[in-house]
């Protein structure tokens, strides 16, 4: 049945006979010529160089906005180069990383460049590669006789949209730009009947695990329709087998513990998950009532329009149309999956949804001949830009003026800055301490010692105490707090946490009797001095709880940390 569905759809390089509308396949030589031309296209070179240069400019100007999770990857990569094992805590085989390919990449970077951080450069290159792939997809769409005559510059729109989707995750130094570059180049390979389609997509799976579902759909559909060449199938199988065997040899599993921890620990509604897809609304615009209801209705209407356009589109489609439609459908499907699972959507998750939809719709727009058919993708693009441009513009301004505090993400970054400072201070005074926290990235990277993860990503023992009740143990289901019972079980020497992640802990008389509570301001002086910088949500203090009968001196720790304030 699947073969019957795909057969009329996937007609490689189909064109229209100008004499009578009969759809026929293009001559192979024409395909090779088109591929050759795209490789030497001067505009393509300009797209890559300009998008890479712009992203690098933003990455360097905004390098103080690195996310806390980026430091989780960095610590694991550091341990991999030092011990040969990708563990968060040396000797503990817990799969804290959700991106094995990114871990290996960071480890290789560390071996080549040492302490020098070249991630901003590489993420700029990956974003440039994603933009170039988007340009090639649109250019291939423009070569179809089915579209109206347009200038070659029209193909620049998908490349620009790729930057819109990926810029935030790029300067935050996350793995998303690499994953999206791999996905989009896999789509380009598909349009050219290249053997690289599945191998690239397989590598993307081990960069962002959500893409495993897309890989299965593409692989099964392509095999059923006899679309893939054997060398590509064998190469993808080899890549997958090597990475799976490596993960199993290291952890005894191939499922990231972070997936389980986040599924258990975060308890939010499907509507809250849905709103996480829209940074323009979650960054200060209305989050309830009529405006949000209108947003939901608008998304549903645009999706319905696109489905009807796809259903009514003339058959058979050529491979570029299939790739564009598949990207859009995948983006919408992943959004639905996130909402269905009530996933807490971080800012670097959003491009997994937005980049495929934006590029897919912009590419599909170039195929449509009539205004009516252009309406669905055009409305979709307009809605997406309405949602995603407002928070992006302050970020671009922040990069241009080299004032990162103008970014809507600066309050989160300020929290990371304080973790780095406090972790380094503790490491100098009491490096042998067993430290507990629920945000393990920057603190774990600067402390270097043994870290107990109260949320459970690096310490699975904590998961039996999750989810924590709202509002008794934490004020909101999106907060990864520290359970009191985990503290009682592990008896850490130090507990470091902002108050919002330790509300029940700080109210406990037992904890108060056993620990000395050192309190520090919620912002470092250099962050507090920046105009317009506010504390993240309802943070009041950073607490460093020092066990009275532990191996660390509260007075020495207080003295060392106070040097930063």
Token reading at 451? 């870290």
| Confidence label for 317 from pLDDT (cuts 50, 70 and 90) | low
35-39, 117-121, 253-257, 363-367: lowest mean pLDDT where?
35-39
Report helix angle 371-401 to 42-61, nearest 10.
40
CA–CA dist 86, 527 (Å, integer): 33
Answer whether residue 403 shows pLDDT above 80. yes
Q: What is the pLDDT of residues 171-229, one digit of tens each?
A: 999 999 999 999 999 999 999 989 999 999 999 999 999 999 999 999 988 888 777 88
CB within 8 A of 508, min separation 6: which ones?
484
Answer whether residue 490 shows pLDDT above 90. yes
CA–CA dist 450, 116 (Å, integer): 24
Q: Are 556 and 523 in contact (CB under 8 A)?
A: no
Mean pLDDT to the nearest integer, 235-257 = 96
Q: Give the per-residue pLDDT at 25.
A: 39
Q: Give the per-residue pLDDT at 18.
A: 36
Tokens 């009968």: give the residue.
549
| Confidence label for 377 from pLDDT (cuts 50, 70 and 90) | low
Q: Give the per-residue pLDDT at 373.
A: 58
Mean pLDDT to the nearest integer, 409-429 = 95
Answer whether residue 335 shows pLDDT above 70. yes
| Confidence label for 275 from pLDDT (cuts 50, 70 and 90) | confident
Answer whether residue 516 shows pLDDT above 90. yes
Helix (H/G/I), strand (E/B), else coil: 451: strand
Answer whether residue 77 shows pLDDT above 70. yes
Mean pLDDT to the nearest integer, 478-483 = 92
Annotated domain spans of the chain: 41-401, 410-562
Q: Give the per-residue pLDDT at 3.
A: 39
Token reading at 94? 């817990």
CA–CA dist 413, 426 (Å, integer): 20
Tokens 């308890």: give the residue.
267
Nearest 5 degrees, angle CA 494-CA 88-CA 252?
A: 130
Preceding omega of 379 cis (within 30 degrees of 0): no
| Confidence label for 309 from pLDDT (cuts 50, 70 and 90) | low
Q: Are 442 and 416 in contact (CB under 8 A)?
A: yes
Q: How many residues does the chain have?
A: 565
Mean pLDDT to the nearest integer, 492-510 = 94
| Confidence label for 66 from pLDDT (cuts 50, 70 and 90) | very high
Q: Give the per-residue pLDDT at 438.
A: 93
- Give the sheet arrangement for strand 542-547, strand by strand: 450-453, 434-437, 494-498, 542-547, 515-520
| Confidence label for 532 from pLDDT (cuts 50, 70 and 90) | confident
The torsion angle over the Cα atoms of residues 200, 201, 202 and 206, rounded to 10 degrees, is: 100
Of the two residues 306 and 19, the one the predictor is more confident about is 306
Mean pLDDT to the nearest integer, 64-81 = 96
CA–CA dist 496, 517 (Å, integer): 10
Answer whether residue 12 shows pLDDT above 80. no
**Dihedrals phi, psi of 23, to nearest 5 degrees:** -90, 125
Specify the pairing of strand 542-547 against strand 494-498: antiparallel
Nearest 5 degrees, angle CA 189-CA 192-CA 197?
A: 25
Q: Are 134 and 359 in contact (CB under 8 A)?
A: yes
CB within 8 A of 294, min separation 6: which ones?
none
Handedness of CA 72, 77, 83, 85 (dihedral sign): positive
**Dihedrals phi, psi of 267, to nearest 5 degrees:** -125, 95
Mean pLDDT to the nearest integer, 488-500 = 95
pLDDT averaged over every residue in the chain? 84
Q: Give the per-residue pLDDT at 365.
A: 73
Mean pLDDT to the nearest integer, 68-74 = 97
CA–CA dist 113, 122 (Å, integer): 13
Q: Give the per-residue pLDDT at 6.
A: 35
Q: Give the per-residue pLDDT at 380.
A: 65
Answer whether residue 265 shows pLDDT above 90. yes
Mean pLDDT to the nearest integer, 414-441 = 96
């Amino acid at each position: 049945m699947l073969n019957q569905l795909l057969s009329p759809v996937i007609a490689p390089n189909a064109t229209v006979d100008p004499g009578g509308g009969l759809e026929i396949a293009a001559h192979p030589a024409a395909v090779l010529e088109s591929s050759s031309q795209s490789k030497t296209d001067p505009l393509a070179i300009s797209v890559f160089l300009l998008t890479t240069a712009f992203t690098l400019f933003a990455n360097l100007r905004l390098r103080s906005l690195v996310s806390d999770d980026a430091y989780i990857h960095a610590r694991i990569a550091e341990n991999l180069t030092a011990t040969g094992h990708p563990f968060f805590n040396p000797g503990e085989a817990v799969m804290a990383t959700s991106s094995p390919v990114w871990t290996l990449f960071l480890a290789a970077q560390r071996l080549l460049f040492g302490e020098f951080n070249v991630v901003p450069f590489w993420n700029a290159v990956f974003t440039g590669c994603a933009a170039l792939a988007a340009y090639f997809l649109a250019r291939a769409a423009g070569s179809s006789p089915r579209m109206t005559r347009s200038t070659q510059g029209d193909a620049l729109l998908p490349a620009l949209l790729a930057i819109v989707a990926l810029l935030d995750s790029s300067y935050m130094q996350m793995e998303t730009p690499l994953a999206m570059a791999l996905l989009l180049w896999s789509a380009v390979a598909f349009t050219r009947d290249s053997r690289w389609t599945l191998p690239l997509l397989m590598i993307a799976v081990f960069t962002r695990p959500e893409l495993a579902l897309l890989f299965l759909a593409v692989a099964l559909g392509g095999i059923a329709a006899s679309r893939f060449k054997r060398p590509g199938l064998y190469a993808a199988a080899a890549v997958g087998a090597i990475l799976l065997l490596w993960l199993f040899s290291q952890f005894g599993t191939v499922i990231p513990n972070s997936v389980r921890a986040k599924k258990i620990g975060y308890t939010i509604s499907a509507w809250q998950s849905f709103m996480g897809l829209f940074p323009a609304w979650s960054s200060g615009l209305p989050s309830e009532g009529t405006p949000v209801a209108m947003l939901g209705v608008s998304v549903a209407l645009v999706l319905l329009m696109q489905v009807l356009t796809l259903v009514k589109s003339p058959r058979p489609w050529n491979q570029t149309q299939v790739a564009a439609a598949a990207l859009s459908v995948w983006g919408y499907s992943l959004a639905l999956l996130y909402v269905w699972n009530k996933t807490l959507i971080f800012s670097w998750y959003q491009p997994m949804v937005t980049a495929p939809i934006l590029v897919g719709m912009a590419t599909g727009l170039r195929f449509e001949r009539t205004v009516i058919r252009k309406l669905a993708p055009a409305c979709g693009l307009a809605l997406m830009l309405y949602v995603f441009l407002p928070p992006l513009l302050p970020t671009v301004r922040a990069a241009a003026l080299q004032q990162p505090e103008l970014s809507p993400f600066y309050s989160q970054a300020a929290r990371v800055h304080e973790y780095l400072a406090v972790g380094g201070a503790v490491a100098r005074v009491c490096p042998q301490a067993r430290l507990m926290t629920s945000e393990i990235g920057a603190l774990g990277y600067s402390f270097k010692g043994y870290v107990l993860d109260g949320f459970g990503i690096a310490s699975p023992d904590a998961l039996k105490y999750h989810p924590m009740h709202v509002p008794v143990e934490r004020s909101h289901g999106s907060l990864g707090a520290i359970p009191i019972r985990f503290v009682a079980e592990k008896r850490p020497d130090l507990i470091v946490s902002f108050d919002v992640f330790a509300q029940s802990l700080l109210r406990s008389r037992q904890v108060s009797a056993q620990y000395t509570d050192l309190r520090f301001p919620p912002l470092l002086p250099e962050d507090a001095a920046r105009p317009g910088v506010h504390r993240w949500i309802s943070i009041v203090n950073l607490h460093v709880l020092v066990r009275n009968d532990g191996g660390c001196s509260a007075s020495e720790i207080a003295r060392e940390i106070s040097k930063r304030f």
